Structure 1
Amino acid sequence: MKYRFFTRIYAVLAILFLLSVMAQFVFAGMAVFISPLHWQEHTFFIHLFGFNVPLLMIVLALLGKLPGWAYWQLFGIMSLVFVMYFSANMSGKLPLLAAMHPVIGTGLLLVAYWKVIKLYHYMKKEQTQ
């Protein structure tokens, strides 16, 4: 009960992360369908939230004493972000891996969404206890 504040901040960051991943799809779409100049937004935006938000979430998960699944999901998110960085920078050497960049991004979107849903159910359950 006394850790609820940290859990709420964690939830805000989880939603922020999900919205940021969704924005990345919009920026990439703008770069492909409107103007290649939008790639700059796509690459800049990831540096704002890619590892920063999940690192803050780890701290909040510890302070909020969240269950083990929260850490595993964060590990999955951080692993996928790392693979996203790797795939984006390997287009010259491993073009097939670079082509997987949007597929990996879709996986990241699904994990971020799953995290928000699971967290919602956890907070709802904690509220009734």
Structure 2
Amino acid sequence: MINNKAFVNRLQQIIDYYSESASSFAEKIGVQRSSISHIISGRNKPSLDFIMKILDAYPEVGLYWLLNGKGTFPQSPTHEETLPPTPAATNTATKEDAPNLFSQIKNAPKGKTIERIVIFYNDGSFKSYLSDESLS
């Protein structure tokens, strides 16, 4: 859960860093001025859409820094954030494994079928594909 007071402080840091007024900041990220006012006053909590608009407009703002203060601000636009490790990370393929993945998919062990393939993009989005067999 996001600490709202700490989030507001980081939001204010961004506004100050870019020498923006609340109005110009709201215009740049594409929200109403009242949205900024309500978040800063603590009346409302930021939505995911609001956070994503900040990240789109200001590439130097890191997601983890904005949400929980981890990392640095400003970060260089080429800096890649590392995601926290997940239990599935032990089955993660590397670039070197890519040529072999297709043959592994075609030669799945007997009795096993692929249920889902998920592709993660470097912007944090993903696309999930369900196999036709899992839909039956």
TM-score (norm 1): 0.30
Structure scoring higher RCO (CA < 8 A, sep ≥ 6) equals: 1
User: Which one has the bigger helix percentage?
Assistant: 1
TM-score (norm 2): 0.28
**Structure of larger gyration radius:** 2
User: Which one has the bigger strand percentage?
Assistant: 2
